């Protein structure tokens, strides 16, 4: 256990997929995530574990290949970056509607449109509140280190299968392109067809054997009463996620008078900002949502009673701030600091924003 390597975040996604017993990857290249498929092609896992790696003709084809393979109970994934995820949005809604588990990795870049290849966090809304049509949710995990890029591949699959729901790793060019030390997981063998039948026989469409009940996978239901019931079942599932699988990290919050709230790469920048602010005598802490859906509402509500104000730091124009405001209520000021278009804020800028927007204001 515990092979130590120095790797890029994107490379680790590929390595972790092979090691966690992933059955298939379907993708299409786009900066800044192309190393995911490059690493997979280089590693040739089809020789080692039997994992399929396929470059599709487009992102749209990739997500529908994921749909087909997921329907047979296979552990499958895709990855892309912002514009590519937009292309996949229809397929993601279908996967959520058909209640199929899969893993989607979004290494975000700046938008809107073709935007820039530099890092951004402007797909928060797209990931947590839709992107595709209909009342659906994704399980969204936001890693803040190369180690978490490794850990969240297996975790994402675990949660996806627990809820029969697509899971997303929402990261960006900073974590994807950065190299850090990572302890790789041990190999988990891929499930055999017998094991898939045993575990997921109640829903998989992999050929009717042993006279089992016919399984149907579809998101279509023309009867409104039944369709509403389908929606209610989905909503119950999302409520259960909010009960059971909220993930977050609190850093130096015990004595905090002000709170930074940030996810992913922004939270790394904010950790440094916390240190810099504390050197100046400002008691500030950091709350890092790890699961963006389900969102850590409770710890924010608790800290809202303790601190004088919150600064939400994101590489966008202000998206997660809406969830923070809802959780914090109206008793304290909740402000936003963000950079856009591929600009990464520095820790110094965050401290300055904290002083200007909260402490001075």
Partner 1 sequence: MTEEIIIAGFGGQGVLSMGKILAYSGVMADQEVAWFPSYGPEMRGGTANVTVILSESRISSPVLNEYDTAIILNQQSMDKFEAMVKPGGVLIYDPNGIIHPPKRTDINIYKIEGTLIAAELGNVKTFNMVVLGAYLKAKPVVKMESVEKGLQKSLPTRHHYLIPMNLEAVQKGFESLELVQAV
CB-based contacts of 206-214 (< 8 A; 24+ apart in sequence): 206/72, 206/73
CA angle 60, 61, 67 (to 5 degrees): 95
Tokens 């969830």, residue located: 323
Orientation angle between helical segments 59-71 and 82-97, nearest 10 degrees: 30
| C-alpha span between 174 and 324 (Å, rounded) | 23
Could you list the residues that contact partner 1 (CB under 8 A)? 4, 6, 31-32, 117-118, 173-174, 177-181, 265, 268-273, 275, 344-349
Phi, psi for 87 (deg, rounded to 5): -60, -30
CB of 125 closer than 8 Å to CB of 170: no
Helices (H), the chain: 9-19, 35-43, 45-48, 59-71, 82-97, 124-129, 146-163, 173-177, 193-200, 224-244, 264-279, 297-304, 320-328, 347-354
For 127, counting Cβ atoms within 10 Å of its Cβ (0-12 exposed, 13-18 middle, 19+ buried), the class is buried
Return the number of the residue (83 or 347) whose C-beta is nearest partner 1.
347
Return the number of the residue (67 or 268) whose C-beta is nearest partner 1.
268
Q: List the one residue out of 132, 124, 135 whose CA is nearest residue 93.
A: 132
| C-alpha span between 309 and 333 (Å, rounded) | 5
């Amino acid at each position: 256990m515990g092979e130590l390597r120095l790797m890029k975040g994107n490379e680790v996604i590929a390595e972790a997929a092979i090691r966690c017993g992933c059955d298939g990857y379907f993708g299409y290249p786009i900066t800044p995530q192309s190393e995911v498929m490059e690493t997979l092609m280089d590693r040739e896992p089809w020789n080692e574990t039997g994992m399929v790696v396929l470059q599709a003709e487009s992102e749209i084809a990739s997500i529908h290949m994921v749909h087909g393979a997921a329907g047979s109970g296979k552990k499958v994934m895709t990855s892309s970056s912002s514009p590519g995820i937009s292309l996949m949005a229809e397929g993601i809604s279908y996967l959520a509607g058909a209640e199929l588990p899969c893993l989607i990795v979004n290494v975000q870049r700046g938008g809107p449109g073709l935007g820039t290849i530099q890092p951004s966090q402007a797909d928060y809304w797209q990931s947590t509140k839709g992107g595709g049509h209909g009342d659906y949710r994704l399980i969204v995990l936001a890693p803040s280190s190369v180690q978490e890029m490794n850990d969240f591949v297996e975790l994402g699959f675990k949660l996806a299968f627990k809820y029969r729901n697509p899971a997303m790793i929402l990261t960006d060019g900073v974590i994807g392109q950065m190299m850090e030390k990572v302890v790789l997981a041990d190999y988990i063998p891929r499930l055999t067809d017998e094991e898939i039948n045993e575990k997921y026989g109640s829903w998989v469409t992999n050929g009717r054997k042993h006279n089992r009940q016919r399984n149907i996978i579809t998101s279509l239901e023309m009867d409104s009463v039944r369709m509403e019931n389908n929606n209610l079942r989905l909503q119950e599932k999302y409520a259960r996620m909010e009960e059971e699988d909220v993930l977050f990290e609190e850093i130096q919050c015990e004595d905090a008078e002000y709170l930074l709230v940030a996810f992913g790469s922004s939270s790394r920048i904010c950790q440094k900002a916390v240190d810099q602010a504390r050197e100046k005598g400002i008691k500030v802490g950091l709350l890092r949502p790890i699961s963006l859906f389900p969102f850590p509402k409770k710890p924010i509500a608790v800290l809202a009673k303790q601190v004088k104000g919150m600064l939400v730091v994101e590489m966008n124009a202000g998206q997660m701030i809406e969830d923070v405001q809802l959780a914090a209520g109206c008793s304290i000021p909740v402000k936003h600091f963000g950079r856009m278009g591929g600009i990464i804020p520095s820790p110094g800028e965050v401290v300055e924003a904290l002083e200007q927007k909260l402490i001075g204001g």
